[in-house]
Amino acid sequence: MSFKKAEEYKKANNFNVKFTKVLMNEFSQWINWRADGRDSVLDVGSGPGNTVRESICPLLPSNFTRLVLSDISPQMVELQRKEFSGFERVSCEVLDIGSEISDEMKKKLSTFDHVTSFFCLMWVADQQRAMNNIYELLKPGGDCFLAIVADCPMIDTLVSICEKPQWKDCFTGWRDFYAFPYIELDGAMSKGLGFMEKAEFIDTKADLRYNSIQFANDEQKENFLRSMPNKFSREVSAEEEEEIFQERLEFLNQFNFGNYRDNSRRIIKPSAYLILCGKKPLGSD
């Protein structure tokens, strides 16, 4: 699952930056920072990097050893490198956390005191593989803090046309591509904890949090929708892709996304986020 329209995403993700700050402040006690301040951090699914720079960097100890941003999308990693140009102890890597990580990449990355991820892992079809990889990328005694979108109006919008007769042949197998594994909120925490515990994490914790997506204007909203990835099962023309976008936009406009417009009769649906934390045991490989 790769975001190719990185610039559009960056123009529209201010609400993610703000909510990451909220989560980092609220759950900071879940992260076991080193007493000597020489922490190393890997962020998974860092997008264009502005969320990490504005929400995570200010909380790092001044003498942290290294920060690695990563994303499956080369376009996003290119923006990360621009965002962190001139920063010491920061690097950016193309990484698919949902697939087998090569020995070469494991050697390059080594291991970390902390792995964080914000609003990324819901795109990964193989959650167990992702949790296993995160576990392997931690030092013994290291921990992870993961915020995963469980349900939101954007998910509803993306899948809204997949079974429509006109577009059904474009989205064959869409349930594998748009996996969204925690959309059933009643079982989301136990499901996430199950993946973590199978990966051998200990001291696992889970919670649910809610936040309303707020855009400043229609341009931001449309940029965010345009940035969402597609996987078409047949060749789609530019005209068809635009028609798909417009149908999704019409669906999306049912929802309240900010006070910049009249929201009477619009649906209020806060986004739900699964928060997970776990620790790799001391003495483990």
Q: What are 210's two structure tokens?
A: 């809610």
Question: Does pLDDT of 258 surpass 90?
Answer: no
Instruction: Measure the CA–CA gap between 102 and 34, rounded to whole angstroms.
Output: 29
Crossing angle of the two packed helices 127-136 and 188-198, in degrees rounded to 10: 50
**Helix 218-227 vs helix 238-252: angle between axes, to the nearest 10 degrees?**
130
- How much of the chain, in percent, has pLDDT values that exceed 90? 88
What is the mean pLDDT of the segment spanning 218-233?
A: 93
At 284, give phi and psi (nearest 5°).
-85, 160
**Residue 239 banded pLDDT, cuts 50, 70, 90:** very high
Q: For residues 50 and 24, what is the distance between their CA atoms, to the nearest angstrom? A: 15
Number of H helices, E strands in the chain: 11, 7
Residue 100 predicted with pLDDT over 80: yes
pLDDT, tens digit, 9 for 90 and up, residues 13-64: 899 999 999 999 999 899 999 999 999 999 999 999 999 999 999 999 999 9
CATH code for 6-151+179-214+271-279?
3.40.50.150
User: Which position has the higher pLDDT, 98 or 264?
Assistant: 98
Q: Domain spans of the chain?
A: 6-151+179-214+271-279
Q: What's the rounded Cα separation, in Å, for the pair 121 and 29?
A: 22
As a whole number, mean pLDDT of residues 197-203 equals 98
Whether pLDDT at 277 is above 90: yes
Mean predicted lDDT score pLDDT of the chain: 95
pLDDT at 2: 54
Q: Are 271 and 152 in contact (CB under 8 A)?
A: yes
DSSP lists the bridge partners of residue 151 as 272
- The structure tokens listed for 23 are 């989560």
